[in-house]
Amino acid sequence: MKYLFVLIVLGLNAIDGYDCKIVQFIFGDSLSDVGNNRNLPRSLAQANLPFYGIDFGNGLPNGRFTNGRTVSDIISDKIGLPRPVAFLDPSMNEDVILANGVNYASGGGGILNETGGYFIQKFSLWKQIELFQGTRDVIVAKIGKKEADKFFQQAGYVVSLGSNDFINNYLMPLYSDSWKYTDQTFVDYIMETLESQLRVLHSLGARKLMVFGLGPMGCIPLQRALSLDGKCQNKASSLAVRFNKAATTMLKDLETKIPNASYKFVEAYDLINDVITNPQKYGFDNSDSPCCSFYRIRPALTCIPASTLCKDRSKYVFWDEYHPTDKANELVANILIKRFDFMRDDDGTSDAPSPSPYLAPSPSPDLAPSPDDN
pLDDT of residue 2: 42
Q: Catalytic: 323?
A: yes
Q: How confident is the model at residue 345 (pLDDT cuts 50, 70, 90)?
A: very low
Residue 256 resides in a domain:
yes
Residue 333: inside a domain: yes
344-348 average pLDDT score: 36
Known catalytic residue at 29: no
355 located within any domain: no
Residue 13 resides in a domain: no
Of the listed ranges 108-122, 252-266, 342-356, the least confidently predicted one is 342-356
- Picking from 344, 319, 341, 345, the residue whose alpha carbon sits closest to that of residue 330 is 319
CB atoms within 10 A of CB 356: 11
Q: What is the CATH classification number for the domain harbouring 331? A: 3.40.50.1110
Q: Does a structural domain hold residue 171? A: yes
Q: How far apart are the first and last CA of the chain?
A: 25
pTM of the predicted protein model: 0.87
Query: What mean pLDDT is predicted for residues 337-359?
Result: 45
Q: What is the pLDDT of residue 19?
A: 62
pLDDT per residue over 316-335, tens digit each? Answer: 999 999 999 999 999 998 88
* pLDDT given at position 116: 94
- Residue 339: the pLDDT is 75
From the list 29, 89, 165, 320, the catalytic residue is: 320
Going by pLDDT thresholds of 50, 70 and 90, the confidence category of residue 4 is very low
**How many of the other CB atoms lie within 10 Å of CB of 283?**
11
Is residue 320 annotated as part of the catalytic site, yes or no?
yes
Better-scored residue on pLDDT, 27 or 345 = 27
Bond into 355 cis (ω within 30): no
Q: What is the pLDDT of residue 79?
A: 85
Catalytic choice (32, 89, 202, 323): 323
pLDDT digits (tens, 9 = 90+) for 275-325: 999 999 999 999 999 999 987 777 777 898 999 999 999 999 999 999 999
Give the pLDDT of residue 335.
84
Q: How many domains in the chain?
A: 1
Chain centre to alpha carbon of residue 372: 20
Q: What average pLDDT score do residues 197-215 get?
A: 96
Domain membership flag for residue 167: yes
Decide if pLDDT at 171 tops 70: yes
Residue 346 falls inside a structural domain: no
Catalytic residue among 29, 30, 163, 326: 30
Asked if residue 241 belongs to a domain, the reply is yes
In this structure, of 64-68, 283-287, 350-354, the range with the lowest mean pLDDT score is 350-354
Q: How much of the chain, in percent, has pLDDT values that exceed 70?
A: 85
Comparing 73 with 339, which gets the higher pLDDT?
A: 73
What's the domain range around 273? 24-339
Q: How buried is residue 227: exposed, middle or buried, by Cβ count under 10 Å (0-12/13-18/19+)?
A: middle
Percent share of the chain, pLDDT over 90: 74
Angstrom distance (rounded) from CA 140 to CA 261: 21
**Which pLDDT value is given to residue 299?**
76
